[in-house]
A and B are shown apart, each in its own frame.
Chain A
Amino acid sequence: MSIDLSATGINRRHFLGGAALAGGFSPLALQMAASNASAAGNDYKALVCLYLDGGFDHLHAILPSDPTNYEALRALRPGISLPNRANLRSLATRSPQGGRTAALHPMLPRMRQIYDQGKMAIVYGHGGMNAPATKNEYTNGSARLPSAAGSHNNGDAQIHTFGDDGTRYGWGGLAMDVLGSMNQDNLFASMGVGPLNNAFSTGRTIDLIKADINGQASNIAGLGAPVFGSTVAAAELNALMQRQGLSTAMGQDYAQVNRRIMESYRQLNDAFNATRNLAPLPTNTSLPNFRTAWADNDIAAALRTVARCISARNVLRVNRQVFFINMRNFDTHGNQVADLDGRNFIRMDAAIGYFYDTMAAMGLGNNVTLFTTSEFGRSIRSNGSGTDHGWGGASFVVGGAVNGGDIYGSLMDMAINGNDILNIGNSPAAIPTVSNQQYCATLASWLGVPDSVLPDIFPNLNRFSPSKLAFL
């Protein structure tokens, strides 16, 4: 197709400009070598946000393993079967946890290994908060709960935009607004893979480019080849799609998305062509849970696409990037054990393990950090087969740069009337002890956002001390 030929020409131009290699098509090995050589000099860094959409039940993933708290959780959650405590291996921690211990759910074995290797940290007990406060202050009314706490869209906003639902800029995009000068251009500064976009990805100047999960890129159909036999029609279509300054705002926004395809597809196509064979997902059907873990795991597939984009960073002309992937189905009101143990944990564990290994094999382990987010933790009590919306939750941070093998934040006391649980409108929830702002500011800081700018992105950050945590 003529589209591919013209793409190759552009590819060569970008490629030669970046890596001073001669020749026609760029063989994978050369491309990879060029990328790696360049990486050493240019200090590439990327954050990969894996959003656990729906409200991640951290209490079921990071289980209390000391007898008191394990039994307390079990008693609070009839109908949600927990792994036998004898099968839990408590996580070693460097920070004292007052005699409390926790273990990863046995369906998260790869994440457990990475934790033990010191390359995965757990940030425990974080949530949306206006300011630090104790249970007593919430109870006596001297501290306010965040607005519309408990709704999915505000929980989403409170970790991705730090505003109410409808806030348009997210901290990933805003961080790239700050760091954009480190990129040759910023077309690919913020990328997403898979359905469900998020405000996380967009800043004031930075906009999202969506990469096809299967690694395909082409121009808008009808451009670059005759339209039903007519080259005139193709040219007319091109002229129509290239128009700027349409008279209405909606028309302009729609046209802008089309123009971004036209501007980006050649590079993206080159990037995908150059990485066709990069780190394929396992195809060995005898692997445990093969279908759930690999064959049907769109999160692993999306992370492979992220890895391909990172590998081809010279083609995309970036040194700093943020990625966003939405992992659905964490809103476990019902059927929680089947949905988490039997499905989401298997998918997440395989995908995170795959991505960690791939980055390490590419020599980029220290350059790329994957982290999870969610709207909130879930209610302390079972509703029979699931849990409802809660407040404080926990997240994972994975990568070579992570000060892992530790839990940041205090494991909670599961006593229903204790200091760590607040009864919000007759629904008990974990009180966060770490703010989402501290958690996310630490990540943005690692990416390179200067301390002086952090409060512009995380508006209440200065109310919390320290403003950054030590996991990176």
Chain B
Amino acid sequence: MINHKRLTLGALMAATALTASCGSGSVAPVLDAGLGASTAAQSLMAAPSALSATQVPVIADKPSSRVEAARFLNQATFGATSAEVDRLMSMGYSAWIDEQFALPRQQTFSKWMQVDGPRSNPVDFGDQNSDRESTAWYTLAKGQPDQLRLRTAWAFSQIFVVSRMKVGSNIVLWMDTTADGAFGTYREMLQRMTFSPVMGQFLDYLQNTDSNGRVPDQNYAREIMQLFSIGLWQLNPDGTTKLDASGMKIPTYSQADVTGLSYVFTGLNLQSGGDRVGTCRDDAGRLLPATTDTNRLWRCELSVWPYASARQHSFLGVTIPAVSTASSAATRQANGRRNIGIALDTLANHQNTAPFISKLMIQRFTTSNPSPAYVARVAAAFNDNGRGVRGDFKAVVKQILLDPEARSPDVQTLNEFGKVREPILAIAQLNRVLNASDGKGNVWAGSSGCRVYFNVVSELERPYNSATVFNFYRPTFASPSGKVAAQNMVAPEMQITDTSTTLDWSRFLQQTLQRGGTGCGRGAKIQNSFAYDEFWAESTNAEQLADKVLLLLAPGANWSDLRPALIRSINSIPGATQANRIDRIKIAIMLTMLTPEYRVQR
């Protein structure tokens, strides 16, 4: 993608640098814990960008305002709350992120599905119309303290895609795999992914083999390259596309590479046999007998079985050694595992991987159109976390969130900056600010019994439920006749923002606010109730209520049209009774959440 506006952006960011202080109260995020100055400088120099190393703006570690704090929290969590804004104001960005990194995994999706959900609310759990898998996700997204981990897992789910449409309830295991891998390394994530029974089911490589005259299934071999690691086209370190002498894009791989790699992903199957037989443990950590029922084996990583391909193959110029067909089952298993390792190492170390994955991650957190310099800085953090570790997602996420392009208030107002907020993030945020709950610790998702909700969430963007391995939308999409396309930019989320789904969003919002809660089981039952505490104190004063709603929902947006409209609308309802005050809150939320000021997150 070419974007001539980068010069403007670079200049503005340079201006930011001049006004920012380097005193003890502030820190350049690229220098933060573990990220060496040399790494950042190298990446900037390597990138053909408008910024030079001397122009890196310095962003204070303490938010400059509550709006800035809320803006950060809307990128890093499923929705800012006043309490979290206060905490961030006092502790600063880095400490907040480090605190999140240090939190161990909390409640898991599978535990909710197997234990917490059915025990706490057996009636709704047992309702045929309840969408349990989505409820596992909404429940944790709304209430769990490890917000940054789950938000990273949500980003992963849109890059390393597995869809519930194909794997059914096993999807909760994939939700956990993405959360488990969120703060590990990229290579570890490749390992978790490849050895995940759920990915094996989704991309068809369980029991894959080249024996008996069969050719191996190529699905995973193709998509792990195209979508999960290196992409179709060779990239520069700043994510821009390399061109050959005649100006053509250069493919990263050929069909022969797909075929070669497909032989590597053979021999993988559940742990009822193979090299990991008998190592599967249940929730309590007890070993499951080797022959136990396969349903329980789905939770454990795959085994390599002796039908791993014995033939020599190559992909991306790397030779995958042959294994003698005369060797023992144990040898063939060991060699099959070794060969998978060679393949995953090759992908993890490929020069495309850092810019390819970094740019996709940036798009999921902060902005659809990062400058090449921003991509280069995140890719540099991917390549080396400052301690020589490659693919450390903690370093990647921290750089994405603390990068001057993400944090500078001057950049934030630019045309290029921001992303269209996807329906799921909007719904998750509504649940958070209105404290949606069934009173038993759960946040129920919609269901087939509730058509509007069903349309908004299940047809479009039910969690971990994209129609294909290409996610809900593609990273290169822009509405063809729109301004974004005309300016050579992209807005991926607009691919699911059409006249039908946008109408459904408005109906969802009105109906859930009208009913005072989300979720619906049989009939028109409300499964969750909203609480209005977050806005209660402000609800008698129109200015204060408007400012609070805008602070939490639309920080960073230009409020000049919306704020006065909210104040006039709020003032049209007298503020005396409890019902009046609730209506005022609902009006302010509804108007805000329907407007571009909210749906474009800055």
Which of B256, B419, B481, B489 is A249 in contact with, Cβ under 8 Å?
A: B489
Indicate whether B251 reaches chain A with its CB closer than 8 angstroms: yes
Name the CB-closest residue of A to B414.
A248
The answer to whether B259 touches A427, judged by C-beta atoms less than 8 angstroms apart, is: yes
Known A-B contacts A230-B569, A246-B596, A247-B558; A257 and B590 likewise in contact (beta carbons under 8 Å): no
Contact of A253 with B494 in the complex, beta carbons under 8 Å: yes
**Bound form: Cα–Cα A249–B500 in Å:** 21
Interface residue from A166, A221, A228, A231 paired with B583 (Cβ < 8 Å): A228
B419 to chain A, nearest CB (A): 8
Contact yes or no, B215 A427, CB < 8 A: yes
Contact A168/B480 with A147-B251, A334-B217 known, Cβ cut-off 8 Å: yes
Q: Within the assembled complex, what's the spacing in Å between the Cα atoms of A239 and B568?
A: 12
Residue contact B569 to A233, C-beta cutoff 8 Å:
yes
Q: Report the Cα distance A264→B498, complex, angstroms.
A: 13
Chain B residues contacting A241 (CB-CB under 8 Å) are: 594-595
Instruction: Write the chain A residue with the least CB distance to B591.
Output: A237
Stretch at the interface among A40-48, A116-124, A194-202: A194-202
Q: How far apart sit A251 and B503, CA to CA, in the bound complex (Å)?
A: 17
The verdict on B96 contacting chain A, using a C-beta distance below 8 Å, is no
B123 within 8 A of A: no
Please, how many residues of chain A have a CB less than 8 angstroms from a CB on the other chain? 87
The smallest beta-carbon distance between A48 and chain B, in angstroms, is 18
A463 CB within 8 Å of chain B: no
CA distance A228 to B589 in the complex (A): 11
Q: For B204, B219, B596, which residue has the most chain A Cβ atoms within 10 angstroms?
A: B596
B507, CB-defined interface residue at 8 Å? yes
Q: Give bound CA distance, A66 to B384, whole Å.
A: 61
**B467 contacts A228, C-beta separation under 8 Å:** no
Chain A, 173-208, contact with B by CB distance < 8 Å: what is the 0/1 string?
Answer: 100000000000000000010011101001111111
Q: What's the Cα separation between A335 and B255 when bound, in Å?
A: 23
On whether the beta carbons of A205 and B481 are closer than 8 Å, the reply is yes
CB neighbours (8 Å) of B591 from chain A are 222, 227, 233, 236-237, 240
Number of interface residues of B (CB under 8 A): 90
Chain B residue contacts of A251, Cβ below 8 A: 596-597, 600
Give the shortest distance, in Å, between A180 (CB) and chain B (any CB): 13
Query: Do residues A248 and B418 form an inter-chain contact, with CB atoms below 8 A?
Result: yes
A383 CA / B263 CA spacing, docked (Å): 11
The answer on a CB contact under 8 Å between B476 and A166 is yes
Whole-angstrom distance between the Cβ of A171 and the nearest chain B Cβ? 12
Residues in A with CB closer than 8 Å to B565 are: 236-237, 239-240
Distance of A5 from chain B, by nearest CB (Å): 19
B224-280 interface with A by 8 A CB criterion: 226, 232, 249, 251, 254-260, 262
Q: Judge whether A291 is part of the interface by a CB distance below 8 angstroms.
A: no
Q: Bound complex: CA of A240 vs CA of B594, how far in Å?
A: 9
**Stretch of B53-61, B168-176, B206-214 with 4 or more beta carbons under 8 angstroms from chain A:** B206-214
Determine the chain B residues whose CB is within 8 A of the CB of A455 once the complex forms.
none
- Which residues of A sit under 8 angstroms from B514, Cβ to Cβ? 228
Is B324 among interface residues, defined by CB-CB distance under 8 A?
A: no
A57 proximal to B (CB < 8 A): no
Given contacts A152-B468, A230-B583, contact A240 B595 (CB under 8 A): yes
- Which B residues lie within 8 Å of A381 (CB)? 215
Contact A53 B468, beta carbon cutoff 8 Å: yes
User: Do A220 and B572 form a contact, CB below 8 Å, given A228-B586, A253-B483, A334-B204?
Assistant: no
Provide the residues of chain B in CB contact with A424, threshold 8 Å. Answer: 255-256
Q: Is the CB of B498 within 8 A of A210?
A: yes
Using an 8 Å CB-CB cutoff, how does the interface string of B413-442 with A read, 1 for contact, 0 for none?
Answer: 001001110000000000000000000000
Q: How far is the CA of A250 from the CA of B600 in the complex (A)?
A: 7
Contact A425 B254 (CB under 8 A): yes
Asked if A425 contacts B256 (CB within 8 A), the reply is: yes
**Contacting chain B: which of A81-89, A313-321, A384-392, A441-449?**
A384-392
Which chain B residues border A202 with CB–CB below 8 Å? 479-481
Distance in Å: Cβ of B467 to nearest Cβ of chain A:
6
The listed residue (B510, B586, B587) touching A221 by CB distance below 8 A is B510
Q: Does B144 contact A (CB under 8 A)?
A: no
CB contact between B498 and one of A150, A233, A239, A257 (< 8 Å): that residue: A257
Within 459-476 of B, Cβ neighbours of A (below 8 Å) are at 459-460, 467-468, 470, 474, 476
- Beta-carbon contact of A250 and B513 below 8 Å: no
Q: Which residues of B contact A237 (CB under 8 A)?
A: 565, 569, 590-591, 594
Contact partner of B572 among A203, A233, A427, CB < 8 A? A233
A295 interface hit (Cβ, 8 Å): no
Q: Which of B300-325 contact A (CB under 8 A)?
A: none
**Shortest Cβ distance from B511 into A: residue:** A221
Bound form: Cα–Cα A189–B200 in Å: 43
Which of B222, B420, B565, B569 has the most CB atoms of chain A within a 10 A radius of its CB?
B569
- B208, B480, B507: the one contacting A384 at CB < 8 Å is B208
In B174-225, the 8 Å CB interface with A consists of: 203-204, 207-209, 212-219, 222
Q: Would you call B215 and A207 a contact (CB within 8 A)? A: no
Fill in one digit per residue for B492-525: 1 if any A CB lies within 8 Å of its CB, else 0. Answer: 0011111111110011011101100000000000
- Chain B CB count within 10 A is highest, among A199, A261, A381, for A261
A425 close to B204 (CB less than 8 A): no
A232 to B570, CA, bound (A): 9
Of B254, B482, B487, B558, the most chain A CB neighbours within 10 A belong to: B482
Contacts of A54 in B (CB 8 A): 468
Contact between A236 and B568, CB atoms less than 8 A apart: yes
Contacts of B481 in A (CB 8 A): 202-207
Nearest CB of chain B from residue A456's CB, rounded to whole Å:
16
Residues of A within 8 Å of B509, CB to CB, are 221-222
Interface centre among A53, A173, A243, A258, by most chain B C-beta atoms within 10 angstroms, is A258
Q: Kindly state the separation between the CA atoms of A249 and B414 in the bound complex, as whole angstroms.
A: 10
- Taking the nearest CB of chain B, how far is it from the CB of A52, in angstroms? 13
Which A residues are CB-close (under 8 A) to B420? Answer: 250, 253-254
State whether the Cβ of B97 lies closer than 8 Å to any Cβ in chain A.
Answer: no
Q: Which residue of A lies closest to B489 (CB)?
A: A249
Q: Are B506 and A383 in contact (CB under 8 A)?
A: no
Least distance between A412 CB and chain B CB atoms (Å): 19
Assembled-state Cα–Cα distance A383/B558 (Å) = 55
CB distance from B292 to the nearest CB of A (A): 25
Decide yes or no whether A458 CB sits under 8 A from chain B: no
Considering only residues 537-573 of chain B, those with a C-beta below 8 Å from chain A are 558, 561-562, 565-566, 568-569, 571-573
Task: Report chain B residues within 8 Å CB of A247.
Answer: 415, 558
Give the residue of B226, B368, B483, B572 whose beta carbon is less than 8 angstroms from that of A230: B572
- Evaluate contact between B583 and A249: CB separation under 8 angstroms: no
A388 CB, min distance to chain B CBs, angstroms: 4
For A252, the closest partner residue in chain B by CB is B483
The residues in A between 403 and 453 inclusive whose CB is less than 8 angstroms from any CB of B are: 424-427
Contact mask for chain A residues 302-343; partner B; CB cutoff 8 A; 1 contact, 0 none? 000000000000000000000000001001011100000000
The residue in chain B whose Cβ has the minimal distance to the Cβ of A260 is B499
Residue of B nearest to A254 (CB): B596
Q: With a CB–CB cut-off of 8 A, which chain B residues contact A4?
A: none
- Checking A166, A250, A335, A384 against B484 with a beta-carbon cut-off of 8 angstroms, the contacting residue is A250
Using Cβ atoms and an 8 Å threshold, which residues of chain B touch A168?
478, 480, 485
- CB atoms of A153 and B470 under 8 A apart: yes
Q: Which residues 34-84 in B have Cβ within 8 Å of A in the complex?
A: none
Q: Given A204-B480, A247-B415, A251-B597, 13 other A-B contacts at CB below 8 A? A: A53-B468, A153-B470, A164-B249, A166-B474, A168-B480, A207-B479, A209-B499, A250-B418, A254-B599, A261-B503, A334-B217, A424-B255, A427-B258
Binding site for A on B (CB under 8 A): 203-204, 207-209, 212-219, 222, 226, 232, 249, 251, 254-260, 262, 368, 415, 418-420, 451, 459-460, 467-468, 470, 474, 476-487, 489, 491, 494-503, 506-507, 509-511, 513-514, 558, 561-562, 565-566, 568-569, 571-573, 583, 586-587, 590-591, 594-597, 599-600
- Across chains A and B, which 3 residue pairs bring their CB atoms closest together, nearest first? A425-B256, A425-B255, A232-B572
- The contact sample of 10 A-B pairs, CB cut-off 8 A, is A210-B499, A222-B594, A231-B572, A236-B569, A249-B491, A250-B419, A254-B599, A260-B499, A334-B219, A425-B254
